[in-house]
Amino acid sequence: MAERPIAVVTGGAGFIGSHMVDLLVSRGYAVRVIDNLVGGREANLKHHGSGAEVTLDRRDIRSLAPDDSLFAGTRFVFHFAGIGDIVPSIERPSDYMSTNVQGTVAVLEAARHAGARKLVYAASSSCYGLAETPTREDHPVQPQYPYALSKYQGEQAVFHWGKVYKLPVNSIRIFNAYGTRSRTSGAYGAVFGVFLRQKLAGKPFTVVGDGTQRRDFIYATDLATGFLAAAETDRSGEIWNIGAGKPQTINRLVELLVGHATYIPKRPGEPDITFADITKIGRDLGWAPKVSFEEGVGRILAEIDYWREAPLWTPETIADATKTWFRVLSGERQG
């Protein structure tokens, strides 16, 4: 029996990373996961059959050595690890730069020394800021907060390693990812985790603004197929947007989740709409989203108990968690 090809997934016990692991296992890969389990769950890797080869290394990516044995013999590296909560980046910018930039450099060095055939970086559409839509890959970059800056600088490091060290790399700028296993712990974050816990508690959904803002929600399994295509292609040095290309209002999400809403103040620095132009990824990789928004929300609701232990956010606790955000991004000078 031929040896299985090896893939490394950083952040592979987390939300998107664990779906990437699922896809790789289904395609016959031996998968090595590195995840410090701050945001991920070991349980996210426990549902594979007995024949699956999935190993978990519980380390921070910043601890990786250039010749780290975890990367030995790897074909592909999928880099998802990092700090993903947006709001706290205003208060903890150094942590974000350290993990999302220096951590990325550590992964790049390990991939380079291992002779990986391709590294695919999970970038963020937040680099575009308050963008014109639909947003193409050549849109000007204008990060509005430290999380966005850190993810963009990580991407710049990726392409620098591609240029200087000839490491084959591609980057995918993710729009609004959602799906089962999205993060449940930590700071105030993505809308799905907040709403699902509120639904379980019988509380109203805390809708930012009037709920007419639209987000380009893309389901996690569709993301995984896009990342695999970006690894398997002969192309390198490319950036692709990935989204569904069909922005949905937050009010529509409330309808699908079936509940009542309470409205909280709109936040400065956040766009009214995110909308990925996915022409390029479709043309170059033959990729297209398959999971409709309605189907994706239905899959999440079928597993809603996953969020039972998540923090329960209220208008009051959200106001407290975002007060620095409002102060900084409203234009006040910071000492």
Dig out the tokens for 96 from the structure. Answer: 């974000």
Dig out the tokens for 23 from the structure. Answer: 């896809």
Cα separation, 130 vs 331, in Å, equals: 16
| 147 belongs to the catalytic site | yes
* Catalytic residue of the set 29, 96, 145, 147: 147
Let me know: does 38 contact 14? Beta carbons within 8 Å: no
How many angstroms separate the Cα of 237 from the Cα of each of 135, 152, 325? 20, 15, 34
Count Cβ neighbours within 10 Å for each residue of 223-244 and write b for 16 or more, e otherwise: bbbbbbbbbebeebebbbbbbb
Let me know: does 325 contact 90? Beta carbons within 8 Å: yes
Let me know: does 74 contact 118? Beta carbons within 8 Å: no
C-alpha dihedral sign at 250, 251, 255, 259: positive
Let me know: does 243 contact 274? Beta carbons within 8 Å: yes
Determine the residue type at 306.
Y
* Residues annotated catalytic, as ranges: 147
